[in-house]
Amino acid sequence: MSVKQVEMVLAPREPHYVGDGFKVHNFIPSAYGLTMQRMDPFIMLDYGAKFYFPPSTSKARGVGVHPHRGFETVTVAYKGSVAHHDSSGGGGVIAEGDVQWMTAASGVLHKEYHSDEFSKTGGDFQMVQLWVNLPAKDKMSTPKYQAITNAQIPKIPVTQNGGLVEVIAGAYEGNIGAASTFSPVHLLNAKLNEGGEASFNFPAHFNTGLLVIEGSVIINGTEDVPLDHFALFTNIGESFTIKATENSIVLILSGEPIKEPIAAHGPFVMNTRQEIMQAFEDYENGKFGELVD
């Protein structure tokens, strides 16, 4: 089995706000060449690096009602908590360590805000939002919502007290993740103690990357990846190792490319321009349901 090498290590871009509650660095799609096609099926990755929000006594910060069609949104909470509601009936609060996996599919309206509890107390806020594309045959399927608590996520110990690997989706060492997916997708959190080392193995053709959420790591014994940096792997080789140079958290993503045309505009990701136009028309005609802001 050959080693999967690092293609490039990317520093975070200048942050921007999504709504008034999410200060994020965008990695996918970006000027670095991490296009939707290059990272298929991962079509967006926004990273909210650790940021302190003071307490708020007014309306909770966040993003008001907006539509989505054709893909899934995955929110991984590292610090703070988010309240979610959508027009298909999904919703709840995701707290530190939890994951929200929303399948927009044929279309939903949704909104995301800092939870009431977090708004009152304030504190460090740190999240990742990932968009996962859907195959054409599933884009108009029924929306669904997976609220995954940290207790539901399998945790696989790393040898010699090196830490653990959380399996959000896909599999790790034969352990199946908590989330169901429409195409082969692996999403893992490696929570490694200083000096801890974990090995990973994905098919060569899967698009694979990692984001250092806390600490810093060395990949394959040679490639340093600092805090808040993203490492992209080549599509050659299958296995790699991560060693923590301090207590670290690393988000690892690897997925099989869907290899279908991508037509994207704002909150809609379909296969053709005509389907995008139809999505706008359906949204304007109220076919995404109702949700009060």
Confidence label for 17 from pLDDT (cuts 50, 70 and 90): very high
Q: How do residues 168-205 score in pLDDT, each as one tens digit?
A: 999 999 999 999 999 999 999 999 999 999 999 999 99
Within-domain flag for 201: yes
* The predicted structure's pLDDT at residue 161: 85
Q: How do residues 64-100 score in pLDDT, each as one tens digit?
A: 999 999 999 999 999 999 999 999 988 889 999 999 9
Q: Which two tokens stand for residue 65?
A: 């009602």
Return the H-helix or E-strand segment holding 187. Answer: strand 185-192
Within-domain flag for 37: yes
Residues 156-182 as b/e (b if ≥16 CB within 10 A, e otherwise) read bebeeebbbbbbbbbebeeeebbbebb
Q: How do residues 115-154 score in pLDDT, each as one tens digit?
A: 999 999 999 999 999 999 999 999 999 999 999 999 999 9
Within-domain flag for 275: no
Residue type, 26: N
More confident residue, 57 or 5: 5
Within-domain flag for 264: no
* The predicted structure's pLDDT at residue 30: 85
Distance between CA 41 and CA 62 in Å, rounded?
Answer: 26
DSSP 91: E
Q: Is the pLDDT confidence value at 293 over 90?
A: no
Within-domain flag for 225: yes
Phi first, then psi: give them for residue 86, nearest 5 degrees. Answer: -140, 165
Within-domain flag for 279: no
Q: What average pLDDT does range 231-235 have in this prediction?
A: 98
Q: Is the pLDDT confidence value at 114 over 80?
A: yes
pLDDT averaged over every residue in the chain:
96
Total tally of structural domains belonging to the chain: 1
**Rg (Cα) of the chain, in Å, rounded?**
19
CA atoms within 13 A on the CB side of 171: 9
Residue numbers of the domain that contains 166: 6-255
**Of 184, 176, 225, which is closest to residue 206 (Cα–Cα)?**
184
Q: What is the 3-state secondary structure (H, E, C) of 199-265?
A: EEECCCCCEEEEEEEECCEEECCCEEECCCCEEEECCCCCEEEEEECCCEEEEEEEECCCCCCCEEE
* The predicted structure's pLDDT at residue 239: 98
Percent of the chain with pLDDT over 70: 100
**Of 168, 175, 216, which is closest to residue 189 (Cα–Cα)?**
168
Confidence label for 207 from pLDDT (cuts 50, 70 and 90): very high
**Of 219, 214, 184, which is closest to residue 202 (Cα–Cα)?**
184
Q: What average pLDDT does range 48-68 have in this prediction?
A: 92
CATH code (residue 96): 2.60.120.10
* The predicted structure's pLDDT at residue 159: 87
Angle formed at CA 253 by CA 247 and CA 258, multiple of 5 degrees: 180
Percent of the chain with pLDDT over 90: 92
Q: How do residues 237-283 score in pLDDT, each as one tens digit?
A: 999 999 999 999 999 999 999 999 999 999 999 999 999 999 999 99
Q: Is the pLDDT confidence value at 31 over 90?
A: no
Within-domain flag for 293: no
Q: Is the pLDDT confidence value at 54 over 90?
A: yes
Confidence label for 1 from pLDDT (cuts 50, 70 and 90): confident
Within-domain flag for 273: no
* The predicted structure's pLDDT at residue 292: 82
Confidence label for 32 from pLDDT (cuts 50, 70 and 90): confident
CB 212 within 8 A of CB 226: yes
